[in-house]
Amino acid sequence: MSLRAGTKVVQSFAYVDTGAEFCVFDRGIADGLLIEPEHGTRMDFSTVAGRFRAYGHEVTIAVLDVQVHAMVYFHEDASVKRNVLGRNGWLNRVRLGLVDYDSVLYLSAYDD
């Protein structure tokens, strides 16, 4: 997967997390996109693993051949390295099918 802001693109990985309300990425990705996280929309998150602060910015998320424009959040704390594709911003914009038995993944834009 990749994230794009303007002409900058960063390749990375992310977990699909159906329990995550938003897409959240590590601060290093924001640095690679030349985004200053604190200049975005501040949000405090509370999870079973604890609390953290992140900042929202509009980017393009590309996974396989599907691209979506979305608000994603970048961790304030640079030591947090977990990237998740959540419901708002990604899952609500794609059609995702998984057939575990056949090891097959189906992915398309929601409107396709």
Q: Return the domain boundaries, the chain.
A: 2-109
Give the global pTM.
Answer: 0.91
pLDDT tens digits, 4-54:
999 999 999 999 999 999 999 999 999 999 999 999 999 999 888 789 999
We find that the CATH architecture of domain 2-109 is Beta Barrel (2.40)
Predicted local confidence at residue 92, as pLDDT: 96
pLDDT tens digits, 65-94:
999 999 999 999 998 889 999 999 999 999
Half-sphere exposure of 55 (CA within 13 A, CB side): 13
- When computed from its CA atoms, the radius of gyration of the chain, rounded to whole angstroms, is 14
Q: How far from 24 is each of 29, 56, 88, 100, 104, CA to CA, in Å?
A: 10, 9, 10, 26, 26
